[in-house]
Structure 1
Amino acid sequence: MAVLLMLLLCGLALWVWGSGALWFQGPAHPTIRWALVGIWTAWMIGSLIAYWTSRRPAMLMACWFLSFVALLVWWQQIKPSDTRNWAADVGEHVEVQAVKGPGQLVKLNNVRNFRWRSDEDFDARWEQRSYDLSRLERVDVALSYWMGPAIAHTLVSFGFSDGQHLVYSIEIRKERGEQFDALAGFFKQYEMVLVAADERDILGVRTNVRGETVHLYQVNMPQQAMRELFMAYAHQADELIEQPRFYNTLTANCTTIVWQLARSIGAQLPMDWRMMASGYLPSYLKGFGVLAPQATLESLEQAGNITERAKAWVPPAGSSDSKASVDFSKAIRLGMPPLN
């Protein structure tokens, strides 16, 4: 009985993975894809039946194993690309142009600073910016809720004493006209991109254009750790330029990559189910004592909800673009408790 149960579970797992691989990476025509999934399904079911009715089950299992290996070999030939017709907002990689001094002044190319009127109507701007890491004074985790309380997109914002804020965001690199499908994200459907953006752009588009709910949580970190995390993101950007990588809904997503980067600089953060259900990430952070200790999680969630403040904000009359961005960052943090 135990052998039968194991075979059934293994067969189910192989059928699910093989069907997904054939559907999402098979020929473009849906009829052909349906046919391939049907053939794979018939083969899996037929093999299991034949195993129990044949006098030579070992041969059947060998054929089953070889068919899986053939599918796996084909799967390994599917490589990520850097040269597709990308959507405008993920069309550029952020690049580290230069680092001057002992890790002090960092110059970045392709910092996104779009002005959004709708998802289809915007002014695309990719800028070169410089950041003095000696003036880095805060790190905030932003969670943008777009599909219920358990699912949120994770972003990390770095704040400087001159009022500048830079947000890093691991995102799928959509092609033009492509929409995100969490199931497709398991099957090499999307490449990964690291976006570096102005807060007024990347947070504002989520609250004001896409109708998402965004929460900010300031994280208690020593400045040296902040600087190391900033540069870990910069190095991740370089790696993605040199070697494109697939996004994976489970293992390489907007939250697990942040966790990996934090671990790379020495943070003792165990893996947790809230890496997958990222909407509950604040309780994970609160449990490690890195959020404001004097405030409850509920009060932090309420004070950190920037959605209405972002919607209500208007640029000060006559202010430059850079000053308006600084003002936006100040406005959305009104009411957030200090760390100490």
Structure 2
Amino acid sequence: MLSFIKWSLLVLLLIGTNIWAVLALYFGDSHTGKIQVVIAAVFALFGLITLIGLGFIRWRKRLLIAYSILFIGIVSGWWFTVSPSNERQWQPDLAKLPFATIDGDKVTVHNVRNMDYRSEFDFSPAYYTKTYDLNQLNGGDLFAVYWMGPAIAHTIVSFNFGDKDYLAVSIEARKELNEGYSTIKGFFRQYELTYIVADERDVIRLRTNYRKNPVEKVYRYRINSHKENARRLFLEYIKKINELHDKPAFYNTLLDNCTTVIWLNTRINPQHLPFSWKILLSGYLPEYLYESNMLATELPFDQLQRQAFINPVAQTADQLPDFSQRIRAVSNKLLGSVDVSPQP
């Protein structure tokens, strides 16, 4: 039995490392070329030969040693040399990085994105610079965006500096021109990490009004937070934004994504949220916050979720200057028979 377990683990290790190395070689450093495809195919073949060779005592040890040397060579000699960059040909909506300057309680944020959308991919680039007073910071909201069922959501934090002043931050993969997003590629140093600092009429309205394939359902939840916690979190965001402006970092589908990075940033607060599988399955993050008494409501969660659905009112508000105020005035009467479930 022990021998069976040992060999089973070895087989799984070989299969796992071979798949990882083949994909790492195939995707390469940002782009896939013919040479990378050939090298990946050769390594896949050698991995298969090594796997088959486990059945032959004469060749087993030699093949395992050779495979280990090649794998370590890929990891140490190539993988760790792939470095992030801010100097690529970026998609127009991701071309400018935000940064901020701090003067006492005043934080001036540069390159706040506020695109004028005609459709998802047809827009006029626009940015502004604005100074925010930390003394006016009242807390924040969590936006959860669903497009593929209840388990997965893109999450956005928006900071509230008064009834008419909101600053949204969406943590995303920074994509190059004509580059699509792939969950698999996100594991292999293919995207840089970016904090999109934006007007809600940009980053929220894009998702409620202009993304149609697939349709995205957006929910807004008011976070129950003390002012000091909100202040520390906002300043932690600003710190990370400035760090990425000066020194790029990689996005990772599992470890450095829109939700895990939010959780990592909240650890600046003494009473931060404990880690949970609902952070990895980000669609359940609002429910986890509700269970942790971090959502400001006394409603049952299913009612809260229904009330949090903002697509209809956002589509009505569209380009109105009071867009942010209107999406916060959603009532159940506006929803009628609209399907508000995160299901696709």
TM > 0.5 fold call: yes
User: What CA distance in whole angstroms lies between the structure 1 residues aligned with 2:39 and 2:59?
Assistant: 27
Equivalent positions of 1:108-123 (< 5 A) are: 108-123=109-124
1:274 and 2:269 are equivalent in the alignment: no
Give a deviation string over 1:83-104, Cα, whole Å, max 9, x none. Answer: 001111111111112x222xx2
1:333 and 2:328 are equivalent in the alignment: yes
Q: What residue number does 2:335 align with?
A: none
1:3 and 2:6 are equivalent in the alignment: yes
Q: What residue number does 1:19 align with?
A: 22
Q: How much has 1:30 moved relative to structure 2?
A: 6.0
Q: What residue number does 1:161 align with?
A: 162
User: What CA distance in whole angstroms lies between the structure 1 residues aligned with 2:30 and 2:199?
Assistant: 39
Q: How much has 1:64 moved relative to structure 2?
A: 1.5
Q: What residue number does 1:305 align with?
A: 309
Structure 1 residues 236-245 or 265-274, which shifts more?
265-274
- Structure 1: where are the runs of 5+ without partners? 317-323
Where 1:254 maps in the other structure, the secondary structure is coil
Residues 94 and 111 of structure 1 are in contact (CA less than 8 Å); yes or no, is this contact kept in structure 2? yes
Alignment length, in residue pairs?
325
- Structure 2: where are the runs of 5+ without partners? 333-344
Q: How much has 1:243 moved relative to structure 2?
A: 1.7
Where 2:287 maps in the other structure, the secondary structure is helix
User: What CA distance in whole angstroms lies between the structure 1 residues aligned with 2:7 and 2:207?
Assistant: 49
Residues 163 and 325 of structure 2 are in contact (CA less than 8 Å); yes or no, is this contact kept in structure 1? no
Q: What residue number does 2:260 align with?
A: 256
Aligned amino acid, residue 55 of structure 2: W
Change in CA separation of 1:14 and 1:176 when aligned onto 2, cut-off 3 Å: same
Where 1:55 maps in the other structure, the secondary structure is helix
Equivalent positions of 1:120-159 (< 5 A) are: 120-159=121-160
Q: What residue number does 2:342 align with?
A: none
Q: What residue number does 2:195 align with?
A: 194
1:245 and 2:249 are equivalent in the alignment: yes
1:53 and 2:56 are equivalent in the alignment: yes
User: What CA distance in whole angstroms lies between the structure 2 residues aligned with 1:252 and 1:244?
Assistant: 13
Give a deviation string over 1:82-130, Cα, whole Å, max 9, x none. Answer: 1001111111111112x222xx211111111111111232121111101
Q: What residue number does 2:100 align with?
A: 96
Q: How much has 1:336 moved relative to structure 2?
A: 6.5
Q: How much has 1:269 moved relative to structure 2?
A: 2.1
Residues 300 and 336 of structure 1 are in contact (CA less than 8 Å); yes or no, is this contact kept in structure 2? no
Query: CA RMSD of the aligned region, Å?
Result: 1.9
Q: What is the TM-score with the length of structure 1 in the denominator?
A: 0.90
Q: What is the TM-score with the length of structure 2 in the denominator?
A: 0.89
Fraction of identical pairs, as percent? 35
Change in CA separation of 1:315 and 1:184 when aligned onto 2, cut-off 3 Å: closer
Aligned amino acid, residue 18 of structure 1: A
Change in CA separation of 1:192 and 1:28 when aligned onto 2, cut-off 3 Å: closer
1:64 counterpart (64, 67, 75): 67
Change in CA separation of 1:300 and 1:52 when aligned onto 2, cut-off 3 Å: same
1:295 counterpart (290, 296, 299): 299
User: What CA distance in whole angstroms lies between the structure 2 residues aligned with 1:203 and 1:77?
Assistant: 37
Structure 1 residues 183-192 or 42-51, which shifts more?
42-51
Aligned amino acid, residue 305 of structure 1: F
User: What CA distance in whole angstroms lies between the structure 1 residues aligned with 2:41 and 2:162?
Assistant: 60
User: What CA distance in whole angstroms lies between the structure 1 residues aligned with 2:172 and 2:35?
Assistant: 30
Q: What residue number does 2:339 align with?
A: none
Structure 1 residues 210-219 or 117-126, which shifts more?
117-126
Residues 313 and 330 of structure 2 are in contact (CA less than 8 Å); yes or no, is this contact kept in structure 1? no
